[in-house]
Structure 1
Amino acid sequence: MALHALLRRNLTSFFSENLLSPTISNGSLSLHIACFSTAIETKPSTPPSVYEFLTNKHQFPPEVASRAAPILSRSHRPENFDSVLSFFKQTGFTNSHLEKMLISRPRLLAADLEKIIKPKIQVFQDFGFPSDDIAAIISKEPRILQVRLETKLVPALSWLMDLLGSIDKVARALRKSGWLIFGDLENTTLPNVQTLMSRGMSRDQLVRLINYMPRVMLYKPETLSRCLENMDKTEVVWSSKLYVYAVGIVCSMPGGAWERKLQAFREILEFSQDDIVRVLRQNPTVFSVSEDKMRLVKKVLLGTGKYDASSIAKYPTVLMHSIERRCKPRFEILGILESRGFIDKWLPLRVGMIFFPAPAVNLVNWFHQLPLAEHDLKPR
């Protein structure tokens, strides 16, 4: 009898924890039910598993629930998570928002709703953030709900409001980078603002920088200073608009990363120093491309037999274009036009990239149907 009671308890525990687990096959489950139906029928109903709670009650996809369920503490019953999820839904969070949060920060379901979650949401509401902005910001960076209210969240939002001037602009910045909340305002963010403004950056430029490359504001002040010194070494004078992008690009590569990037342009793309200075002055964002993209663009261009590395220096924006959607369809069209006799030689790279309307890929079949050009239709 003791053995029967022990077996009965173990089997009941097994089914209460694993009945709906995706790791149990239908055949195996049917066998267990057939052999021990008496035990299951006479045992009182047990609480649902976390996986069952997430998939059945709140309709989370199985792949999301299966990732979150093992992480959630077993000491918390699924019913305790219901109030947290219900509150988020009432606040304006969609299922998509909640799925993102559950994947990146599942333990939030076990957080104290009254002490941890509600006060942070209330702060955003008191500042005047619309519910859709709150949901977008929090779902992208759920750790915001775990920062200290008085020393982090409120001061950060207050500073951003003072600088950016409106809830819409603050929301746009936080949608891009919730990390602006986590910065050390006194020892990092504000000293960086002072450094940039002391070098001539206006308030409007600072706002554009935050929207373009917000993480620059979170660098250690000494790191930012070294990045700005690297900019000085280029001896480039930027326009007021491009200066913001130059700061963002150069400062996104601290340490020796900037020098390695310049060396890659010299070695892979065969840029001269004059080429580097010219491109830095005219389009600094080009320097954000990876070395792999440099090699791929060069390989595709040289593979046409019509362009060489100097073409990239003359039109560096090609490095930012999609190879498959932008470059290859236009190269194919140029090849068709040349083979049909409509052009004697390919257009310069810059012209070829902007001459045909996007999406050029849709024009390829049309150009394939062109007849051979008559002699008098050839361009003179």
Structure 2
Amino acid sequence: MFRFACKTLLHIQIQCRSNALLDTNASFIRCLQTVARSDLSSESLERQSLTVSYLVSSCGLSLEKAISASKLMKIKTTERSNAVIDLLTCHGFTKSDITTLVYRFPRVITFDPVKIIKPKIEYFESLGFVGPELPKLVCSNVQILHCSLNKQIIPLFDLLRGYVKTKENLHCALKRFMSIRTGNQVTCNLVSCNLEKVFKPNIKTLITLGVSDEHIGKVIMLEPRLLYSPVDEFVKVADKIIRMGFEPSNMSFLMAVRSMTCLGKGKWEKKKDLLISFGWSEKEFGLAFRKQTMIMLCSEDKIRAMMDCLVNKLDLKPSDVANCPNLFLCSLEKKIMPRYSLIVGLKSRGLKLNNLPLIWILSIEKKRFESMFVTPFIKEAPDLILVYQCQVMEKQGLGKQHHSSLNI
């Protein structure tokens, strides 16, 4: 058996070399070891040989990826697979598109091209997904060709189109819910959700609470996974967000639901406790979250570093930080510390800064900050301005080669 495996893989190696598809001998040795360890019959090895050879020569997969994909499907004859590739090519799929599709969903080349694939492609084209947009749609949601056209795809697309309106928005929604993958293993997909038991009930919950169709459409385009949450959990989270003071008619309500849903109860409470440990009260936490729901999506390390810097090092009041939660979305290295260093330097020179609150200075947009604290002091403190500009540029990866262009 082992000799047969060696002979089979040697044949593949020679064939792949002739097509410039084998990069190194090392990859071949690893593949040989993989098959040698498998307890396969001669018939299975022969079928695997055909499958691997076809995936390499006709689909463009590397030898290693082809062997990996062959564990998920087997080609008995190449007639159907050839017909699938011909069909995809006729509808605008390039060789690269086909390679991507087959790698992500190998079973597609074993499907009946006339009964399973063609009707779906024609439906997508009827919606305006033509040219490069068709393979882009399919390759981003590979299992879409495996789902029932009448029972899953059409009902889902009709529902989505009712909220997102345009083809462009529909494509955006589908792209936002690209498959979650580990290697080429698909674990979750937009069309795999139970439309009747999950998606529709969650939308109904939002409508009942007073969320507008426009805002539901935005959620579908920006964060459609939110609507795939377990129905009971979704209702509980929505109710909790309302009790925190959010109005369902505002988009911030949906962003808050998103934050809490993404984290889950355990991580949510852990991050909340971390913020409170730096001096926030329950009321101040609620205020900060209502002003900026994204703060809870920051990592624990980011939250800890930001609060330690602002409260302990810059000596700002926790309540002031709670009033400016957008700071959590900024970078300590690229924004906050360069600004703080400049302000301290200017004050040490006795220059007038109008006694503005530090928290406000750190929060304002870059253009306004530089018009107030950089441009006016170019002549009086050129060295401080140079240090500030260098810090900002270096943190953004611009480096010293741009120093000569500084406006001083």
Q: TM-score, length-normalised on structure 2?
A: 0.67
Query: Cα offset for 1:240?
Result: 2.1
Contact 1:144 1:181 in 2 (8 A): yes
Instruction: Determine the structure 1 residue equivalent to 2:25.
Output: 24
- Structure 1 residues 71 and 8, CA gap change in structure 2 (3 angstroms): closer
Identify which of 298, 303, 315 aligns with 1:294: 303
Bigger radius of gyration among the two: 1
Identify which of 377, 388, 393 aligns with 1:362: 393
Instruction: Determine the structure 2 residue equivalent to 1:112.
Output: 112
Q: TM-score, length-normalised on structure 1?
A: 0.72
Identify which of 173, 194, 204 aligns with 1:194: 204
- Structure 1 residues 188 and 53, CA gap change in structure 2 (3 angstroms): closer
Aligned ranges 1:1-380 → 2 under 5 Å: 12-19=7-14, 20=16, 24=25, 62=62, 66-72=64-70, 73=73, 75-76=75-76, 81-93=81-93, 97-98=97-98, 100-177=100-177, 179-237=189-247, 240-267=250-277, 269-301=278-310, 305=314, 309=318, 312-327=321-336, 329-331=338-340, 333-334=342-343, 337=346, 348-357=358-367, 361-362=392-393
- Structure 1 residues 15 and 77, CA gap change in structure 2 (3 angstroms): farther
Greater Cα offset, 297-306 or 193-202: 297-306
Distance (whole Å) between structure 2 residues aligned to residue 232 and residue 186 of structure 1? 25
Distance (whole Å) between structure 2 residues aligned to residue 143 and residue 341 of structure 1? 66
Query: Cα offset for 1:50?
Result: 6.2
Local SS of the residue matching 2:69: coil
**Partner deviation per Cα, 1:137-169 (whole Å, 9 max, x = no partner):** 322221111111221111111122223323222
Query: Cα offset for 1:200?
Result: 1.3
- How many residues of Structure 1 are paired with residues of Structure 2 in the alignment? 344
For structure 1, which runs of at least 5 residues remain unmatched after alignment?
A: 1-5, 29-46, 372-380
**Partner deviation per Cα, 1:237-257 (whole Å, 9 max, x = no partner):** 476232232233233344555
Distance (whole Å) between structure 2 residues aligned to residue 13 and residue 98 of structure 1? 26
Distance (whole Å) between structure 1 residues aligned to residue 256 and residue 195 of structure 2? 24
For structure 2, which runs of at least 5 residues remain unmatched after alignment?
A: 17-21, 30-47, 179-188, 371-388
1:17 partner amino acid: I
Distance (whole Å) between structure 1 residues aligned to residue 241 and residue 282 of structure 2? 14
Aligned-pair Cα RMSD in Å: 4.3
Distance (whole Å) between structure 2 residues aligned to residue 191 and residue 241 of structure 1? 19
Contact 1:338 1:346 in 2 (8 A): no
Distance (whole Å) between structure 2 residues aligned to residue 300 and residue 99 of structure 1? 49
**Partner deviation per Cα, 1:51-107 (whole Å, 9 max, x = no partner):** 6766666655x4xx5234322245456786454445434434456655543443233
Distance (whole Å) between structure 2 residues aligned to residue 94 and residue 101 of structure 1? 11
Local SS of the residue matching 2:25: coil
Local SS of the residue matching 1:244: helix
